[in-house]
Amino acid sequence: MTIVLLGYMGSGKSTVGKILAKKQSLEFIDFDDYIVENEKLSIPEIFKQKGEIYFRKIEGNYLKQLLQDNKDAVISLGGGTPCFGNNMEYILKATPNVFYLKLTAEKLVERLLPEKEQRPLVKDIPNAEMLEFIRKHLFERNFFYLKSPNIISVNDELPEEIAVLVQEKLA
C-alpha cells in the first residue's frame, strides 16, 4: 500500500507520516530526503548550484521512479512537489491513498515563524509579510492540492489524531 501525504510546508506531513507508517507497519519516505540522498546535495544546495528548473525536473523524475516502484510506504512530499509538471497526475494514478493536510494560512504562519531559518522559501520574508505570502502561495497551489481525493482539515489536532483520521479513510 502506498500512502501519499501532501500539503504546504509546516502542515505536518513528515510528523504525521512517521506516525502513520509506524501504525500501518510501512516504510516512511520523506521525499525531500529521498532527493537529497540521490543527488548527494541538500535541497538549498541543489537550488543554489543547479537552479530551480533543474530541481523541478529531477523532482518529477524521482517522484515517477518512486511511485513506479510500488513501494509499500508512506511518502511525505515536499510542499511544491504536486504543483509542477505532471506530478499530481503521477500521484493520482499511483494510489487512491492521497491525503492533503489542509491548514489555514494563519495556522501555517504560527507554525512556520519559529522555524523560519530552516525554511529556505520563507527565510527572507519579513515576519509582517508572512501571512500575505502564504495566502498568495496557497491560492496558487490549491489548484493542485484540491485534486487530492482525501482532504483533511488540520488545525488544532495532534499528529496522532491526524494519523487516525488518515487511517479511517484508507482505500
Residue list for the binding site for Mg(2+) = 14
- Which residues carry a binding-site annotation? 10-15, 32, 56, 79, 119, 141
* Closest of 115, 92, 95, 88 to residue 9, by C-alpha: 115
Buried b (16+ CB within 10 A) or exposed e, 41-79: eebeebeeeeeeeebbeebbebbbebbeeeeebbbbbbb
Query: For residue 85, is it left (φ>0), alpha (ψ between -120 and 50) or beta?
Result: left
- Which residues carry a binding-site annotation for substrate? 32, 56, 79, 141
- Which residues carry a binding-site annotation for ATP? 10-15, 119
Q: How open is the CA angle 147-120-95, to the nearest 5 degrees?
A: 25
